[in-house]
Amino acid sequence: MQLTIETDVEDDLLYIAFSNRAHKQGAVKRTVRVNEDIALDFDGRGSLLGLDVMNASKVLRASIDEIEWNALVGVKEAAALAGVRPSNFVRDYAGKPDFPAPVAELANGRVWLKSQVEDYLSARRRRPRLRAS
133 within some domain: no
- Tell me: do 79 and 56 sit in the same domain: no
131 within some domain: no
Last residue of a domain, one of 60, 83, 107: 60
pLDDT along the chain (133 residues), means of 10: 83 90 90 96 94 93 80 91 94 93 87 93 78 57
Range of the domain at 26: 4-60
Assess contact for 53 and 38: CB atoms under 8 A: yes
User: Whole-prediction pTM value?
Assistant: 0.56
CA dihedral over 23, 6, 18, 56, signed as positive or negative: negative
Q: CB under 8 Å to 16, separation ≥6 — which residues?
A: 3, 4, 5, 6, 50, 51, 53
What pLDDT, on a 0 to 100 scale, did the predictor assign at position 93? Answer: 94
- Tell me: do 90 and 55 sit in the same domain: no
- Tell me: do 9 and 51 sit in the same domain: yes
- Tell me: do 55 and 78 sit in the same domain: no
- Tell me: do 76 and 51 sit in the same domain: no
Number of structural domains (the chain) is 2
Nearest residue to 72 via CA among 117, 16, 112: 112
What pLDDT, on a 0 to 100 scale, did the predictor assign at position 82? Answer: 95
